[in-house]
Amino acid sequence: MANFVTLARHTELKAQTLVHILKANGIDAFTEEVNQFFPSLTAHYKVRIAEADLPKALSIVDNIDLENEEQVSNAEIQNRKVILLPFDYTPTSEKAFPLAFSWAKAIGAEIEMLNVYSADETEHYSILNRMIDFDKEALRERVERAHSEAKQRAEKYQETIQQRIDSGELANIKFKCTALEGVPEEQIIMYSEILKPEMIIMSTRERCKKEVDMIGSVSAEVAEGAPIPVFVVPENIDFNSVDMVKNIMFITNFDDRDLIAFSKMMARLSFKEIEINLVHFRESGTKETWNEIKLNGIKSYFAEHYPTAKAEAAILDGANPTQSIRDYMAEKNISVLSMTTHRGKLISRIFNTGETGITRRFVFEGDFPTLIFHA
Summarize the confidence of residues 108-129 as an average pLDDT. Answer: 71
Q: Is 193 exposed, middle or buried (0-12, 13-18, 19+ CB in 10 A)?
A: middle
Q: What pLDDT sits at residue 236?
A: 85
The CATH architecture annotation of domain 80-229 reads 3-Layer(aba) Sandwich (3.40)
Q: What is the CATH number of domain 245-374?
A: 3.40.50.620
12: pLDDT strictly greater than 90: no
Contacts (Cβ under 8 Å, ≥6 apart) of 303: 311
- Could you give the count of Cα atoms lying within 13 Å of 253 in the half-sphere of its Cβ? 16
The average pLDDT across 70-86 equals 66
Tell me: the pLDDT tens digits for 298-343? 778 777 888 878 888 888 877 777 788 889 999 999 999 988 876 5
Q: Do domains 80-229 and 245-374 have the same CATH topology?
A: yes
CATH architecture of 1-79: 2-Layer Sandwich (3.30)
Q: pLDDT value at position 312? A: 86
Average pLDDT over residues 73-100: 82
pLDDT in tens, 217-228: 688 888 888 888
| pTM assigned to the model | 0.78
**Rounded to an integer, what distance in angstroms lies between the CA atom of residue 191 and that of residue 186?**
8
Residue 349 has pLDDT above 80, yes or no: no
Q: In the prediction, which pLDDT does 224 show?
A: 80
Domain regions of the chain by residue span: 1-79, 80-229, 245-374
Half-sphere exposure of 145 (CA within 13 A, CB side): 12
Mean pLDDT of the chain: 78
Q: How far apart are CA 2 and CA 282, in angstroms?
A: 61
> 245: closest CA among 264, 265, 226?
265
| 55 contact partners, CB below 8 Å, separation of at least 6 | none
Of residues 65 and 4, more confidence is placed in 4
- Residue 112 dihedral angles phi and psi, to the nearest 5°: -110, 105
Q: What is the mean pLDDT of residues 198-219?
A: 66
